[in-house]
Structure 1
Amino acid sequence: MVFRIELRRSIAPWAGLALAVVALGFLFLLSGPWWKVPASWTANTTTTALWLRFFLVFLWPIAVGAGAIQGMRDSRSGMVELLSTTSRPGWHRALRLAGAVGALSALGFVLVFGVGLAEVLGHGGFVSVSFLPVLFVGLLAIVAGSWVGLAVGRLLPHPLTAPALAVLTMAVSILVWASGALSGAYSRFGLLTPVFSEPRGMLTTTATSVDLGQTAWFAGLAATGFLLLAADSARARVLGLLPVVAAAAIALPVFPAFADGLMAADSVAARKLCDGPICVSRAHEDRLAALAGPGREALALLAKLPGAPTRIEERTAPSSVTDRPARDPGVVYLDFQVNDDLLTADASTLRAAVLSGAGLPGCVPPSYGDSSDLGARMIAAGYFTGELKQLPEYAGSWFRLESAPIEQAWAKFRALPADVQFARIVALRQVLLTCDGDPIDTLVPGALR
């Protein structure tokens, strides 16, 4: 009964509604990166949860600020002295108030994920339970933020407390996001906020160490918020700080030492399905049949090279369009996330993608659009197929404007004796393995000068 009263007379419903409206407004009214590859928010339920974690840059300050507004209720109504004379312990009232505000705030967050789940189903995306840890930590952060706001509002009942606390929370959240997403400056202390950079692929999720550390931290933060809300003495307030101190002592050593440890492959979506030497992720299993035929043909063509690759695998490790792709001399990696044209490519295009670079990726990040790198890999594919073909790659649309010098280099390469062509393809493969040298100069010296 008392809980229902708190739901009606507190800010709880409005806090949950504000969270839902702001998040859905961003998602549907702005054509942001959440609609685009390599991590569309409708591609995978785990990716949907990761985008919600990104939106906590804006949602967490709302939860904290709303809690602070509600925490000042007793002081604003002049009931502090009256309530202190009642026989009911303070934690009874605190429990119902905190439960109402935390539950409705969490419900608003869950509602947004429910809309995301419907979008994933409607777009034929991948559904699994891998989103649960990501979503749970986000929910815990929302509850912890609202309870800390309640405590601060009760302890500092000033009209400026709520807006100042919300602005401070947003400033810290934006700083943490910017330091990771824009400058690449990683610090474990940044994980004491729930904010994450945008997801970089639909086959990735948060690392277990991140989930465990943040669960401990936000549980401690929530406990401290509740204890400070319920405290009726200075001694109780000091003791109320113990959970957050203990949580920080537990969480910080658990967090990854380097930024590379923040994300991991989604154990369900990235699980490999194979047809002999051809493997794709479970999320892209419909591509296995399309890739099997041209993939085997390409491996047979590559087999005449020394140390030729013997497998084709989809790249499932966390990657980015701003990082150099990893390479393995025995494996041809295809990235369906970054090069989404591969998802609809025909047999000849898939074959060319496998043969590009004699089975090796470029030595520059995909977004750089380097003429020497992409051109050399195009010519290498043309060496095996007899045709210079545009590759289905991230920088492909840009490269069409720069194709004339590569076509000239291709003509010069084709005019070389067969044994010279073969030797230069072998040399190119070594250059792409070590990333030491100019790829197109290896095939046609001075081609782009």
Structure 2
Amino acid sequence: MILRTELRRSIAPWAGLALLVVALGFLFLLSGPWWKVPAPWTGNTTTTALWLRFLLVFLWPIAVGAGAIQGMRDSRSGMVELLSTTSRPGWHRAIRLAGAVGALSALGFLLVFGVGVAEVLGHGGFVSASFLPVVLVGLLAVVAGSWIGLAAGRLLPHPLTAPALAVLTLVASVLAWTSVEANVLSVPYHRFALLAPALGQPRGVLVTTSAPTDLGQAAWFAGLAATGLLLLAAKSARAKVLGLLPVVAGAAIALPVFPASADGLLVPDSVAARKLCDGPICVSRVHEDRLAALAGPGREALAMLAKLPGAPTRIEEQIAPNPVTGPVPRDPGVVYLDFQRNDALLTANADDLRLAVLSGAGVPSCDPPYVGSLADLGARMIAAAHFTGELKPLPEYAGKWFLVQSGVLEQAWAKFRALPEEVRFGRIVAMRQVLLTCQGDPLDTLVPGALR
């Protein structure tokens, strides 16, 4: 009866509705990074959950602020003294109020995720149970935030408590996000950043949170939630002091467990990134439809590259989390194709797939993501042309870019093709080493002075 009353008369329904409306507003009204490669939010249910965790930068302050508003109710209504004289223990009312506010806040969070799952299904995305740890920790964070807000409102029933607490939570969440967001603002990573629930952008549909991240945050938010509940029900100073023990214990458990570096926050999803192979050609389970298309041209390209010393013998999809500031991983024995960042490969025909394998003589770009230099792109194109006999734009680069730079590259290609065969081969080998080490100018290695 009391719980039903709290559901009707408390701020609980409005808290859940606020989370729902704000989150869906971000996802559907703003283009945002969540619509774009390499991690569209409709590509994988785990990616959807990761984007929702990213949005907790804005949603968590709402949960905390709404809880604080509700926590001040008894004081605003002048009922504190009256309620203290009732025979029913205070924790009875506290647990029902906390249950109502926490449950409907969590429901709002879950409904947003439900919309995301529907979008994934509607767009033919990948569905697996790997999202469970990501969503469950997010739910725990929302409940903990609402309960700690309730306790703060009960203990500090001032009109400025709720807005001040919401603003402070927002500032802390943003600062924490900048620390876990791959040094996007040159803020170094620190374990304390994971005491806020927001995560950085997933930057790929094949990643999920690591076990240390999940376990550490679960311990921390469980302690925070317990402290909020105990402080909400506490009447004596001693009870309030004892109520702080769970949050202290949660931090003591979580901080040593958290990853030591930002590279440990996200790991390949064991389900989505599981390799499916046809001989030496492997793709992820998410992109298994590309395996048949890649098998034929992939083997042809490997046969062409076999003339090189230390030639690659396998083609694999790049499944590691995409770096932000540095080059992607490379291996002399493996040609990596990135179907996430280079979504043109998802619809590429056999000729373009063969060209993608041959580009850079089987070695990916040394440029940071989305920063292409003419020296790197031109060298990789000429390397592919060395094997095919024709200079063509690589599938990851638009034809418009090729037309703008075609004059310079065609001149470099003409100079390179005019060289004796053994010289061309030696320069391809040298350029491949430049791309493997990311030391030197690959185009200048092929055609000295091509850009001067």
| Structure-1 residue corresponding to 2:100 | 100
- 1:288 counterpart = 2:291: yes
Give 1:66's aligned amino acid. A
The within-5 A match list for 1:274-313 is 274-313=277-316
Give SS of 1:279's match: strand
Whole-angstrom distance in 2 between the partners of 1:332 and 1:399: 23
Quick check: 365-374 or 331-340, which moved more?
A: 365-374
| Structure-2 residue corresponding to 1:372 | 375
| Structure-1 residue corresponding to 2:236 | 233
Give 2:239's aligned amino acid. A
| Structure-2 residue corresponding to 1:154 | 154
Structure 1 residue 390 displacement after superposition = 1.1
| Structure-2 residue corresponding to 1:192 | 195
| Structure-1 residue corresponding to 2:349 | 346
Whole-angstrom distance in 2 between the partners of 1:180 and 1:110: 24
| Structure-1 residue corresponding to 2:166 | 166
Whole-angstrom distance in 1 between the partners of 2:328 and 2:355: 18
Structure 1 residue 323 displacement after superposition = 2.4
Whole-angstrom distance in 2 between the partners of 1:197 and 1:400: 36
Q: Deviations over 1:419-439 (max 9, x none)?
A: 111111111111111222210
What 5-or-longer segments of structure 2 have no aligned partner? Answer: none
Give SS of 1:3's match: helix
Give 2:432's aligned amino acid. R
| Structure-2 residue corresponding to 1:62 | 62
Change (3 A) 1:154 1:375: same
Structure 1 residue 345 displacement after superposition = 0.5
Whole-angstrom distance in 2 between the partners of 1:144 and 1:414: 66
Q: Deviations over 1:172-215 (max 9, x none)?
A: 11122234432242010000000111111111111110000000
Structure 1 residue 258 displacement after superposition = 0.6
| TM-score, normalised with respect to structure 1 | 0.98
| TM-score, normalised with respect to structure 2 | 0.97
Change (3 A) 1:400 1:202: farther
Change (3 A) 1:140 1:337: same
Aligned length: 449
Structure 1 residue 292 displacement after superposition = 0.2
Does the 8 A contact of 1:47 with 1:202 survive in 2?
A: yes
Quick check: 140-149 or 197-206, which moved more?
A: 197-206
| Structure-2 residue corresponding to 1:360 | 363
Does the 8 A contact of 1:357 with 1:380 survive in 2?
A: yes
Does the 8 A contact of 1:322 with 1:367 survive in 2?
A: no
Give 2:244's aligned amino acid. L
Does the 8 A contact of 1:369 with 1:395 survive in 2?
A: no
Q: Deviations over 1:93-136 (max 9, x none)?
A: 11100000000000000000000000000000000000000000
Give SS of 2:272's match: coil
What 5-or-longer segments of structure 1 have no aligned partner? Answer: none
Whole-angstrom distance in 2 between the partners of 1:395 and 1:215: 44
- 1:224 counterpart = 2:218: no
Whole-angstrom distance in 2 between the partners of 1:397 and 1:207: 40
Whole-angstrom distance in 2 between the partners of 1:107 and 1:396: 47
- 1:264 counterpart = 2:231: no
| Structure-1 residue corresponding to 2:78 | 78
The within-5 A match list for 1:376-391 is 376-391=379-394
Change (3 A) 1:281 1:396: farther
Change (3 A) 1:85 1:398: farther
Does the 8 A contact of 1:201 with 1:320 survive in 2?
A: no
